Amino acid sequence: QVQLQESGPGLVKPSQTLSLTCTVSGGSITSDNYYWSWIRQPAGKGLEWIGRIYTSEIGRVYTSGNTNYNPSLKSRVTISVGTSKSQFSLKLNSVTAADTAVYYCARGSDAFDIWGHGTMVTVSS
Amino acid sequence: QSALTQPRSVSGSPGQSVTISCTGTSSDVGGYNYVSWYQQDPGKAPKLIIYDVIKRPSGVPDRFSGSKSGNTASLTISGLQAEDEADYYCCSYAGTYTLFGGGTKLTVL
């Protein structure tokens, strides 16, 4: 079955760029017409949707990059598909302590049926 | 955009029913039938328990049910069990983005 796994640095310095990758096993991000999302959760707080990406592949034609972002983060966020069609990534630039959170990748755009375990990212000098 | 509004906490005794509300606007909850609910245990990833307002994924007990009226969606848990104690989050499609509620802590007395 499809499984998701987040990876990336656990510590990022203020003003730098947070970069995470989500690896999809047991499936492909270009199949089955799914969106793929990033969601975060600061310690002791609620969930915050970061953004989503949609890709598709028909025959050998690969279409990537239909993205939507949280308006409050839009100026700092980029979600993209990796060269491997089993990965998608998150980049969040100009980070501050307020970006410290557990970051999850998930399948879906408004109903998230499969989640990664989450990865803790701390923003600190 | 603001987070959807949920009560901070609810409680109930085993066997009872509890309802958690999720209030948004006509631009999110009221505008689309794309409300989902998640159960989250401490230290774990959230688990989808309701989607498209009323649908249950395979394996979710029918004690969990969803509904919507206007700009407010609701999750009802009937026949409350000790294992239902967790945090619950609602979520709604809002066109070009997605919103979560602030979360509700359910305590089983």
Q: What is the pLDDT of residues A41-60, one digit of tens each?
A: 999 999 999 999 987 766 55
Q: If contacts are CB pairs under 8 Å, which of residues 63-82 in chain B contact chain A? A: none
Chain B residues lying within 8 Å of A115, measured CB to CB? 45-47
pLDDT value at residue A64:
61
Note the pLDDT of residue A28. 81
Give, in order, the Cα–Cα distances in Å from B1 to each of A31, B24, B28, B48, B103.
31, 10, 10, 23, 17
Provide the mean pLDDT of chain B: 96
**Cross-chain Cβ contact B93/A69 below 8 Å:** no
Residue B34: list chain A partners with CB under 8 A.
110-111
Tell me the pLDDT tens digit for each residue of B60-108.
Answer: 999 999 999 999 999 999 999 999 999 999 999 999 999 999 999 999 9
- If you average pLDDT over residues A82-86, what whole number do you get? 77
